[in-house]
Amino acid sequence: MRFRYYISRIFKDMVEAIRGSEQDFTTGHLGRAIFLLSVPMVLEMMMESVFSIVDIFFVSKLGADAVAVVGITESMMTLVYSIAIGLSVGISAIVSRRIGEKQPEKAGKAASQAIILGLLVSVIIAVPGAVYSKNLLELMGLNQGAVELGWRYTAIIFSSNVVIMMLFIINSIFRSAGDAAISMRVLWIANIVNIILDPCLIFGLGPFPELGVTGAAVATSIGRGVAVIIQLYFLFKGNNRFHMMLAYFKPDFKLMRQMLVLSAGGVAQHLIATTSWIGLVRIISIFGSQVLAGYTIAIRIIIFSLLPAWGLSNAASTLTGQNLGANNPRRAERSVWITSLVNMAFLGIMAVIFQWNPGFFVRLFIADPIVVQHGITALRIISYGFVFYALGMVMVQAFNGAGDTATPTFINLFCFWLIEIPLAYLLALQLGLNEKGAYYAIIISESIMTVIGVLMFRSGKWKTKMV
For residues 44 and 17, is the Cβ–Cβ distance under 8 A?
no
Task: Please compute, for residue 274, the number of CA atoms within 13 A of its CA located in the half-sphere on the CB side.
Answer: 17
For residue 380, the one-letter residue type is R
Neighbours of 317 (CB within 10 A): 29
Give dist(CA 369, CA 40) in Å, integer: 38
For the residues 346-365, what does the mean pLDDT come to?
92
For residues 195 and 54, is the Cβ–Cβ distance under 8 A?
yes
For residues 292 and 285, is the Cβ–Cβ distance under 8 A?
yes
Residue 203's SS3 state is helix
What's the pLDDT tens digit per position in 356-379?
999 998 888 777 888 889 999 999
Q: How many residues would you count in the chain? A: 467
Give dist(CA 195, CA 203) in Å, integer: 13
Give dist(CA 227, CA 229) in Å, integer: 5
For residues 49 and 304, is the Cβ–Cβ distance under 8 A?
yes
For the residues 423-430, what does the mean pLDDT come to?
94
Give dist(CA 347, CA 350) in Å, integer: 5
Structure confidence at residue 52 (pLDDT): 66
User: Of all helices (H) and strands (E), which one includes residue 294?
Assistant: helix 289-325
**DSSP class of residue 417?**
I
Give dist(CA 101, CA 135) in Å, integer: 49
For residues 362 and 290, is the Cβ–Cβ distance under 8 A?
no
Which residue from 240, 303, 279 is spatially nearest to 428, judged by alpha carbons?
279
Structure confidence at residue 1 (pLDDT): 59
Q: Which of the two residues, 241 and 334, has the higher pLDDT score?
A: 334
- What mean pLDDT is reported for the chain? 86
What's the pLDDT tens digit per position in 262-298?
888 888 887 888 778 778 878 888 888 788 878 878 8
Whole-model pTM?
0.84
Residue 398: phi, psi to the nearest 5? Answer: -65, -45
Q: Which of the two residues, 60 and 405, has the higher pLDDT score?
A: 405
State the chain's maximal CA–CA distance in angstroms.
Answer: 69
| Sign of the alpha-carbon torsion through 414, 286, 386, 317 | positive
Give dist(CA 19, CA 100) in Å, integer: 22
